[in-house]
Structure 1
Amino acid sequence: MAKKIKSMGGRSFKKSAPKKSGNMNKLLQQAQQAQQSMEKEMEEMEAGLVNKEIEATSGGGVVKVIVTGDLRVKDIQISDELEDEGMDIIKDMIIAATNEALEKAKNYKDEESEKISEKYLGGFEGMGLGL
Structure 2
Amino acid sequence: MGKKIKGFGGRSFKNSSSKKPNVNQLLAEAQKTQQLMEDEMSTLEGELANKEVEATSGGGVVKVIANGNLRVKDIIISEELEGEDMEIIKDMIIAATNEAIEKANQIKEEENEKISQKYLGGLQNMGFGL
TM-score where L is the length of structure 2: 0.76
Aligned length: 119
Q: Cα RMSD between the aligned structures?
A: 2.6
Offset at residue 84 of structure 1 (A) = 3.2
Distance 1:128 1:33 in 2: 15
Distance 2:123 2:41 in 1: 18
Q: Which residue of 2 aligns with 1:56?
A: 55
Distance 2:111 2:93 in 1: 27
Q: Which moved more, 1:23-32 or 1:84-93?
A: 23-32
Q: Which residue of 1 aligns with 2:103?
A: 104
Distance 1:22 1:127 in 2: 11
Distance 1:130 1:122 in 2: 9
Q: Which residue of 1 aligns with 2:92?
A: 93
Percent pairwise identity: 63
Q: Which residue of 2 aligns with 1:38?
A: 37
Structure 1 stretches lacking a partner, 5+ long? 1-8
* Matching residue's letter, 2:28: Q
Q: Which residue of 2 aligns with 1:17?
A: 15
Q: Which residue of 1 aligns with 2:114?
A: 115
CA distance change for structure 1 residues 45 and 118 in 2, over 3 Å: closer, same or farther?
A: same
CA distance change for structure 1 residues 127 and 36 in 2, over 3 Å: closer, same or farther?
A: closer
CA distance change for structure 1 residues 21 and 31 in 2, over 3 Å: closer, same or farther?
A: farther
- 1:84 aligns to what SS in structure 2? coil
**Which aligned runs of 4 or more in structure 1 are off by greater than 6 angstroms?**
none
* Matching residue's letter, 2:109: D
Q: Which residue of 2 aligns with 1:5?
A: none
Q: Which moved more, 1:31-40 or 1:64-73?
A: 31-40
Alpha-carbon displacement from aligned partner over 1:46-101 (angstroms, at most 9, x marks no partner): 12222221111101111000111112111000111111321111110000000111
